Amino acid sequence: MARPTPELIDALRKTARKLANGAPYQWGHMGGCNCGNLAQELTKLNRDQIHRYAMERYGDWNEQVEDYCSTSQMPIDLVINEMLNAGLSLEDLKHLEKLDDRQVLLRFPLEARYLKHNIRDDVVSYMNAWADLLEEQLLSKITLPIIQEMALA
SS (H, E, C) 2-62: CCCCHHHHHHHHHHHHHHHCCCCCCCCCCCCCHHHHHHHHHHCCCHHHHHHHHCCCCCCHH
Nearest-angstrom CA–CA distance, 140 and 60: 35
The residue-averaged pLDDT of 45-62 equals 91
pLDDT band at 153 (very low <50, low <70, confident <90, very high): low
Q: Is-contact 81 70, C-beta < 8 A?
A: yes
pLDDT band at 135 (very low <50, low <70, confident <90, very high): very high
The pLDDT of residue 140 is: 78
Q: Is-contact 128 16, C-beta < 8 A?
A: yes
The pLDDT of residue 145 is: 67
The residue-averaged pLDDT of 102-122 equals 93
Give domain limits for the chain: 6-152
Q: Give the three-class secondary structure for 123.
A: helix
The pLDDT of residue 70 is: 87
The pLDDT of residue 151 is: 60
- 139 burial class (0-12, 13-18, 19+ CB within 10 angstroms)? exposed
Nearest-angstrom CA–CA distance, 34 and 28: 10
Q: How many CB atoms are located within 10 Å of the residue 102 CB?
A: 9
Between 15-24, 49-58, 86-95, 140-149, the lowest mean confidence (pLDDT) is in: 140-149
The residue-averaged pLDDT of 88-117 equals 94
